[in-house]
Structure 1
Amino acid sequence: MTAVLFALTAMLWGGGALATAMQASVTSAPWSVALRMALAGLILLGYGLIRGVPLAIPRKDRWAVALQGLLFFAVAFIAFYEATARMPSGLAALVLSTSSLFAALMARAALGIAISSGFVWGALCGILGLAVIFVPGAAASRVAPLAGFGWALVAALATGAGTTIGARNQHAGLPVVAVLGWGAFAGAAASALWALATGTTFAIDPSVSYLLSFLYLAIAASCVTFMLYFELVRRLGPGRAAYTLAVVPLIALVLSALFEHLTLGWPVLAGAGAILAGNVLVLSR
């Protein structure tokens, strides 16, 4: 069953990278994330009501649910939207996969969860892989892809931190659906505040591609995948659950090559191999 959860999570999020790239249009990233998370929150809490799941969050745990929402459902997603607007979605997903490194480190520091003996070598492989892919772009002063790399790295950091807080919330015995539903609302509120604070104009893109990708992201790549992912966190721990994000780039890279004309040359393939090998070392027993 765990293998099925793992595969579904990777496939849905792999398709989500390309769908996110399709969102880069009239509607800005913060407003797209705010709308997506608001709809996801409604669906998740509605599902909880239908199933009779307790939805109240104890007062002592509300800060942690809000923090998970801020990191995982706002900062990580806004940063990833910004990344895919500046670089192929497959490469952005590849950078995002390094969240397994950050999740393992943060879980060790915050929760005392042990990391594998191969962590140092795995981290070095991940850094080497990123360098192989992105250093040539830096040498050529390709500003947009490098800015995309920066945003994708922020998304990886926030995802790792949000995953660790999610593990804390599950250890506290909080219902997953309630945490995800209220966390999505917290993410929606934080994203809207981000948009207002930066003076971002609210506008809706009425195109079919935007609306279809929005529904896919809000339902399949948010509601369904969030529940699958944090069930993996419960079963495997935050570091090993984040390994799904090491598989996502394989799907995202293929889709990016098919629909975004990404050239899978030797730097991309070699870098991807090093990053994925690094994640395997980090998460090995």
Structure 2
Amino acid sequence: MQKASFYNASLYGLTVLIWGSTWIAIEYQIGVVSPELSVAYRFALASALVFAWAWAAGYRLRFPWRRHGLLLVMGACLFSTNFFLFYHAAAYLTSGLMAVVFSMAVAMNIINGRLLLGRRSERRTLIGAALGVVGIVALFWPEVHSFDLNDSGVVGLLLSLAGTFCFSLGNIASARAQAMDLPVLSCNAWGMAYGALIMMVLALAGGAPIAFDPRLPYVASLLYLAVFGSVLAFGAYLTLLGRIGADRAAYATVLFPLVALLISTVVEGYVWTPVALGGVALVLCGNLLVLLPARARLSKPAASQSSH
């Protein structure tokens, strides 16, 4: 039990720390190369690395064609379309508002998990998720308060919601694949390959110029996003999802904006307010509710063993 909890906590911490730092890296991707191509480059490189890793580790990489439909859904929802939508939402919304919307992945995973997988969430998971979303709103309250629901604001909000919904559907697809005993690493390799292909086709269909930025900031951020943000973080997150469920794993989407703000404090001079600190407290309380094992769950086995 303790070993499993430590492993889950390690996967969770790795996901939060890496994804919390990718927001800075993504900023260096904007410019010469279109968002579609940048996402295609990222996941083409990540896919090649994961295929090599899976092959070296002896994981099976051949699946029946009917399984590739599920892998294609993962590629479309987790490794392409969601990023494409958020890149374009950034033209209308601040990163803080996008973080608020993305934290709704917790609620979407709870609903989609119930509808599509028939999984019920524990009451404390629901309460923890609610605390986390309220905390994120408080954390980014100045941006929420100043949000203007004009035409551009509605467009940005809809794009962000669509991107979050895609991410949630990708979570459910991954959970279903793991329920079929498909290896996470192999699924990620195929999903990333499909995602890169989708983005490349979208770039060509949209007339985006085929370009590459050889300057160090772009190349370094691309490598970081591919190796750490994709290979390691997605591997950790989706493994965690299979172990503790989509609803609880998705709480990482609430916690990693805190890491992003801590980095912003050092790099960009972010100033903390009492409301923001209160938001952090709510997020951390929600995090404890969602992730810590319940006492009742630990005590019941002991009680049942003593009765035999």
Structure 2 unaligned runs (5+)? 1-6, 295-308
Structure 2 CA distance, aligned partners of 1:155 and 1:55?
28
Corresponding residue for residue 191 of structure 1? 199
| Identical columns (%) | 32
Kindly indicate whether the alpha-carbon contact (under 8 Å) linking 2:23 and 2:260 is maintained by their aligned counterparts in 1. yes
2:243 matches 1:243 = no
145, 151, 172: which one aligns with 1:136:
145
2:52 matches 1:46 = yes
Kindly indicate whether the alpha-carbon contact (under 8 Å) linking 2:184 and 2:235 is maintained by their aligned counterparts in 1. yes
Map 1:99-178 onto structure 2 (within 5 A): 99-117=105-123, 126=133, 130=137, 132-139=141-148, 143=152, 148-178=156-186
Cα distance change of structure 1 residues 277 and 156 upon mapping to structure 2, 3 Å threshold: farther
Q: Secondary structure at the match of 2:147?
A: helix
Deviation at 1:186, TM superposition (A): 0.6
Q: For residue 15 of structure 1, what is the amino acid of its counterpart?
A: S
Structure 1 CA distance, aligned partners of 2:248 and 2:272?
27
Q: Secondary structure at the match of 1:200?
A: coil
Structure 1 unaligned runs (5+)? none
Structure 1 CA distance, aligned partners of 2:150 and 2:184?
44
Structure 2 CA distance, aligned partners of 1:150 and 1:280?
31
Map 1:1-285 onto structure 2 (within 5 A): 1-84=7-90, 89=95, 91-117=97-123, 126=133, 130=137, 132-139=141-148, 143=152, 148-265=156-273
Give the TM-score, by structure 1 length: 0.86
Deviation at 1:142, TM superposition (A): 10
Number of aligned residue pairs: 284
CA RMSD of aligned residues (A): 3.0
Give the TM-score, by structure 2 length: 0.80
Structure 2 CA distance, aligned partners of 1:99 and 1:229?
14
Kindly indicate whether the alpha-carbon contact (under 8 Å) linking 1:80 and 1:152 is maintained by their aligned counterparts in 2. yes
User: Computing the radius of gyration over CA atoms, which structure comes out larger, 1 or 2?
Assistant: 2
